Structure 1
Amino acid sequence: MLNLERLRILQAIATYGSVSGTAEVLHVTTSAVSQQIRKLEQETGHQLVKRSGRGVELTFIAQLLAVRAGQILALVDETEAELQAYRGAPLGELTLGAFPTAARGLVPRALRLLAERAPELQLHIREMDFDSPMIQVERGDLDVGLVQDWDHVPIDWPATVRKKLLMTDMAQVALPHDHRLAGRPTVRISELVDERWISRVRRSTCHEWLLFTMREQGTEPRIVHTVNEHPTQLALVSAGVGLAMVPTLGLGSLPDGVRVVPVEPELTRRVYAVWRAEGSVRPSVRAAVNALAAVGDQLSTGPSPAGA
């Protein structure tokens, strides 16, 4: 009998194109992936992978099996969802992928609420920095994902995925307390074009968003420091070495000497929960999404997402 987890690994190799990519997505070692593929070859009696340069290439038989594996795993997921729906209560395990500011500012509160509402449900959190959880949700590697939708980077919604708007999040500019604009109730973006900036690293959504925002003003932002974490950005702002554009979810506790001011026109992003269509009948998915929505409604800094 074919092993489902080995089929899942083969399908992941077909999807992500490499053993290392598969290991990263499935949170296992590359040697574990290779070992499972060798065992699957023994089960099927066929060679499934062959070396190609520094990577691997699936054989024709493996490609056929990967397609069938996708169908089998989708049916298993659908069956598990139906069985859980019959049980009624949200229980078991659920994996949630979230971008960093949501993982810090939204998820912990939702976990506390979910512990009260569904004590038998265990959530496993994966923070995902540069890659959107959307693909992994679509492939079934995550049960629920939190994604962000900026106006300049609209989301392409797959037909197999369902979504719920959790909140809108407004970006603000963080300035040293003695900055010329620090005492203002709002700041126009056009007043910030000559400033020095502290930004997240390239490839990050926030970095691309800063570039887009400043280019709309006809200028390139003068980025003098690049750091990953928003708390580090704020510490540098406190030191007086630059400004940072930070979403409200990324603010946390402000260090001494930092002021945050809303910008005009408003810069907002929408935060969605996403899950596979067949997951809609799972009480665990519904419970998790409802808890996230309840917290998101409390935190929203833009128009209310109620009813979205």
Structure 2
Amino acid sequence: MAAVAEALFLTPSAVSQQIAQLEEEVGMPLTERQGRGVRLTPAGERLVAHAERILIMLDEAKSDLAEIKREIAGVLRVAAFPTVAAALLPQAIQALQASYPHLDIVFKELEPADGLAALGSWNVDVAFVDNLTNLLVQKYKNIDQVPLIEDVLYVLLPQGHRLAQRQSLAVSDLRGERWALDSAVSFYGEFILNLCRRAGYEPRVNAECRGFEVVREMVASGCSISIIPGLRRVNDLAGVSAVKLRPEARRRISVAFRHGERNHPAVKVFLDQMVLTAKAVSEATN
């Protein structure tokens, strides 16, 4: 109930009241208690399935009408995680503003899993995801994706580190180092930990940070090392060196959108621009 209330900007009691009213209208319980939370009853699950189909049809209707109108305008709500938000999104928004002055793009910084949840609950119109959250994407039947870019991972080292001049590094070369990880990104942090575990050791994490800025400073000061997405190299990395992993490790980044809005003019031009921007950035960084 608390998660639903947060997603809908309501109080938990307001959500409970809405569900109680709906149960009164349909004449049967739609939720039941499970431990400290609640779960849908079979009737609730069926009603949700009907609601999802109705919402998809509404998306399709809005897209059709917008296509007939042929005016690219209004508000497009975008969820993106920090790596993409810093490396790709500003360039794309700038290009779209120049071409479509009546289109307002509103950006919200969300990690892939949170952005996907916001997309599935109709709180945003498009969301950036990566293949680390692909299992979550599969849970949403009405979500499609357009592939954007494959992001190569790099080891981040202090400039004076003994390994900083190498052309490439294996994860096994980093045994015994102290690590700074971005704990705000649970999927990515777990992915890095598992890379070390597959190399035969448990990394010594001496910094759990809530953002890349702190990770960078921990590395630049010589306190830690880390592994970062290659897209981070688009911006200045003063005081640190980035060395490619061996064998090469990548994560695939896509833009997700609701199936019913595939033909919405604003969504279409946004997707087209993101593909162009991602191609330009990929060519510049590889």
Same structural fold, with TM-score higher than 0.5 when normalized by the shorter chain: yes
Q: How far off is 1:202 after superposition?
A: 7.5
Contact 1:202/1:208 (8 A) holds in 2: no
Q: TM-score, normalised by structure 2?
A: 0.83
Secondary structure of the corresponding residue to residue 131 of structure 1: helix
Where does residue 253 of structure 1 map in the other structure? 236
Deviations along 1:223-270, one digit per CA (max 9) or x if unpaired, are 111112111101011111110111123353223x32222222122111
Could you tell me which runs of 5 or more consecutive residues in structure 1 were left unpaired when the two chains were aligned: 1-18
Deviations along 1:61-109, one digit per CA (max 9) or x if unpaired, are 7666544433332322221111111112222222222222212222222
Distance 1:226 1:76 in 2: 43
Distance 2:283 2:209 in 1: 25
Distance 2:20 2:100 in 1: 40
Where does residue 79 of structure 1 map in the other structure? 61
Secondary structure of the corresponding residue to residue 146 of structure 1: strand
Could you tell me which runs of 5 or more consecutive residues in structure 2 were left unpaired when the two chains were aligned: none
Q: How far off is 1:112 after superposition?
A: 1.1
Question: Of 252, 255, 262, which aligns to 2:244?
Answer: 262
Query: Mapping of 1:167-246 within 5 angstroms?
Result: 167-201=149-183, 204-246=186-228
State the one-letter code of the partner of 1:104: A
Distance 1:301 1:173 in 2: 20
Where does residue 160 of structure 1 map in the other structure? 142
Secondary structure of the corresponding residue to residue 111 of structure 2: coil
Identity %: 29
Distance 1:202 1:127 in 2: 12
Q: TM-score, normalised by structure 1?
A: 0.78
Contact 1:268/1:302 (8 A) holds in 2: no
Deviations along 1:268-306, one digit per CA (max 9) or x if unpaired, are 1111011122211100110111121121112226999xx
**Cα RMSD (Å) of the superposition?**
3.1
Secondary structure of the corresponding residue to residue 241 of structure 1: coil
Distance 1:141 1:192, change over 3 A: same
Q: Which structure: greater helix fraction?
A: 2
Contact 2:113/2:129 (8 A) holds in 1: no
Contact 2:112/2:127 (8 A) holds in 1: no
Secondary structure of the corresponding residue to residue 267 of structure 2: helix
Query: Mapping of 1:12-91 within 5 angstroms?
Result: 19-30=1-12, 33-34=15-16, 44=25, 52=33, 55=37, 65-91=47-73
